[in-house]
Every structure is written in C-alpha cells, then in structure tokens.
Amino acid sequence: MDIYKIDETKDIEMVVNSFVSEPATEKEWLFFNKNKNQMNFYDDEKHVVTSVVMLANTPIYRNDDGREYEILFTPEAIQKMAYNYFSKEGFNKISLNHNGNEINNAVVMLESYFVDSVKGVPEKFGKIPNGSWVISYKIMDNEIWKLIKDRKLRGFSIEVIADVKKLNLNMRTNKKNNNKMGKFMKKNEKFAEAVTDQGVNVRFDTLEVGQLIYAVAEDGTEVILESGTYLINYENVVYEVVVDENGTITSVNEVTNEPSENEMETEMETEMETEMETEMAAIKRRLEDLESKIAAFTQVKPPVQAKKQTPIVTDSNKERVHFTKIKVKI
C-alpha cells in the first residue's frame, strides 16, 4: 500500500479539531477524576479529557472512494499545523464527527504539548513517538460530556488542508542480494541503523523489547514499522524481531552471526568455482557430443561414386580459366 506524508515544506492549514466516535489515531481519551489520573467514565467533577491529536511518523489508513493508502505526519508537519491552528485562535473551537459546524465555548483547552524525552504521555497510551501532539480539554457543555461518558465521542480527529508527498521505503531493490543474510550489507554502504530481510532500512534507539522501531524512507523520513516478524541485520548480527501494530518491539532473538568479510569472500569464491565447474561440465558434454557426430559422419560411405568433372575452359583457346576469375551473379 502506498504511503504518503504531509509535506512539511509547504503550507499546512488546520481547520478544526473534531470530537469523533472513531479517532484516526486509534487513541481514545483518558478521563481524569478528582483524586487520581485514572480513567473514570462516571465521575462528573472534572470533565477533563486528554488524548493524542496526531501521532508522529505513524501511518494512518485512508480510503477515498475506493483508493486505499496511508498517510503520516512528521514532527515538523505536526508543529507547523499546530502553530497555524493557534495563530487563528482556534484553541476552544471544535466540531462533532466532522459535521461541518464549529462549536465555540463548549470546551476550554487546558494543555497542549509535543511529546519528547521530558514530556511523556499517560501509560495507557503505550509508547508514543516523539513529536506527537497531545491536548487536554475541560468540557463545558453537559450534552457533549454526556456523549463522551456514553462513549459516543471517544477521541480527536483533525481537519487539515495540506500537500502530500509519496514515500519510498524500499531503498534496496536487488533481490539477489536479499537471498542470504550474509549479503545484506556491502562495504561502504550506509544504513540508518540496520536493514531488514525485505531490504528496508530501519532505525531504533536500542534493539530491545518495548522500543519503537522505524522504517527510514528514501528522503530520510521515519515511518513506524508495520506490524510483523522481521529478520534484521544489526552490527553484523542477525536478529528475529517481532513488531506490534503500534510499531513497538515485542520480541528480539538472535538468529546467527553475520559472516565476516573473509567468510563472505570465501563464499563468493566457492559459488564462482561451482558455477565454473557447471559451465565446464556443459562444455565437455557438448564436445563429446560433437566428436561422436564427427566419428559417425566419417564412417558413412557415399551412396554413389563422384564423377570426374570436366575442366572449365574458354571457347576460344580451350585454356584453363582460374576459378577465382569467374564472376557470379545471384
């Protein structure tokens, strides 16, 4: 499936933040009660919700009239979008399920920040990529709060006008080099961190359970790696790595040590010798077949005796004319 990113080099306009029943980020709200920062659907005292407005570097599935693709926001695009939203004083404006109607004064924004190594997120959200945008609202409208309590509104979904750019994740297209783990890395070839058996460059802080892992596109954009099981060559060691739907590593197991350069050269020499032996054997068979045909041909007697030909002579002097002087038209 094609993956596009919001082009952070172009203008990005955020129209409104909508309260929706199915947030695109798949991160539902957290509800805070008076005593503890814990989820509580039945406490009406604080009326505060917190959720992720946009996950950084995380593909979001789209289906526009049957055209399926994924789109993501880089941290730079998220910040540019937020600044545009704030410059229009859109702090306290929302809509409901993208119905086209902006509601004023139904909510009050209490907090807005971008996730980094200092500003994290509640544990319930799991591991969140740095650069993601988190907002908390105080709900002033009782009807909206009731919709939230009844789980008819469950998270945020933004409306944005922006340009997009297609990403290329598979930077290695030579399938022959992907047949063996020992051929993943070549001398003087640079990688973001490591490379998968599909030929995709990947980056991570540490190759450990609980860490996020990113595919690195051709232009350097990081994309949360799709869930699945991968063989990853990292520092000349091959690992089997399992990734969940959030791009989080759930299992890491060493498979085998990557062959040294000398071992790789020996392997290549062995393969070349094998190919040469195969070719020589084929040539030998062809020669033997040819010799057999020649021997059979020389043993066959002609069916009739060849007649002696009359020398070629001229009409005038009957002298022999050299064969090379005859002109023939075809």
How many C-beta neighbours within 10 Å does residue 221 have?
21
HSE (side-chain half, CA atoms, 13 Å) at 324: 0
pLDDT of residue 305: 55
pLDDT of residue 247: 92
pTM of the model: 0.67
Q: Which residues of the chain have pLDDT under 70?
A: 31-44, 171-192, 256-264, 297-330
HSE (side-chain half, CA atoms, 13 Å) at 51: 28
pLDDT of residue 300: 59
How many C-beta neighbours within 10 Å does residue 8 have?
19
DSSP, residue by residue, 153-220:
--EEEEEEEE-EEE---B----GGGGSSGGGS--TT---SSEEETTSBEEEESSSSTT-BEEEE-TTS
Tokens of 313: 């002579």
CB contact set of 156 (below 8 Å; sequence gap of 6+): 17, 18, 19, 20, 23, 25, 51, 52, 53, 135
- Residue-range domain boundaries for the chain: 3-166, 175-257
How many C-beta neighbours within 10 Å does residue 296 have?
9
pLDDT of residue 113: 94
Q: What is the spatial distance between Cα 223 and Cα 71, in angstroms, rounded to a whole number?
A: 10
